[in-house]
Amino acid sequence: MTSEVRTLFLGILTLVVYAVSFFISDGSLIFPFPLNEFIFLAISIQFLYSNWTENRLAGFLPVIAGICWVLSTQFFWSFFHTQEQMLEFMDGLTTDYFLIAFYALILIGGIATMIKQRSGIALVLTGVFAIAFVTGVILNDSLLLLLGYGSMLASTQIKKVYAPYHLLWILLFVLKLTEWLTFFLNS
Query: What's the mean pLDDT in 117-135?
Result: 93
- The confidence score (pLDDT) of residue 27 equals 84
Query: What's the mean pLDDT in 95-122?
Result: 94
Residues 32-45: tens digit of each pLDDT:
878 899 999 999 99
The amino acid at 151: S
Q: Model's pTM, two decimal places?
A: 0.93
Q: How far apart are CA 148 and CA 6, in angstroms?
A: 24
Ramachandran category for residue 30: left, alpha or beta (phi over 0 → left; psi -120 to 50 → alpha): beta
Is a pLDDT exceeding 80 seen at residue 119?
no
Ramachandran category for residue 97: left, alpha or beta (phi over 0 → left; psi -120 to 50 → alpha): alpha
Residue 185 pLDDT class (50, 70, 90 cuts) = confident
- The confidence score (pLDDT) of residue 155 equals 95
Question: Around Cβ 69, how many Cβ atoms within 10 Å?
Answer: 26
Residues 68-107: tens digit of each pLDDT:
999 999 999 999 999 999 999 999 999 999 999 999 999 9
Q: How far apart are CA 145 and CA 122, in angstroms?
A: 18
With CA atoms as reference, report the closest residue to 22 among 149, 178, 162, 161: 178
The DSSP output letter for 13 is: H
- The confidence score (pLDDT) of residue 140 equals 94
With CA atoms as reference, report the closest residue to 149 among 164, 128, 163, 165: 128
Share the mean pLDDT of the chain.
93
Please tell me whether residue 152 adopts helix, strand or coil conformation.
Answer: helix
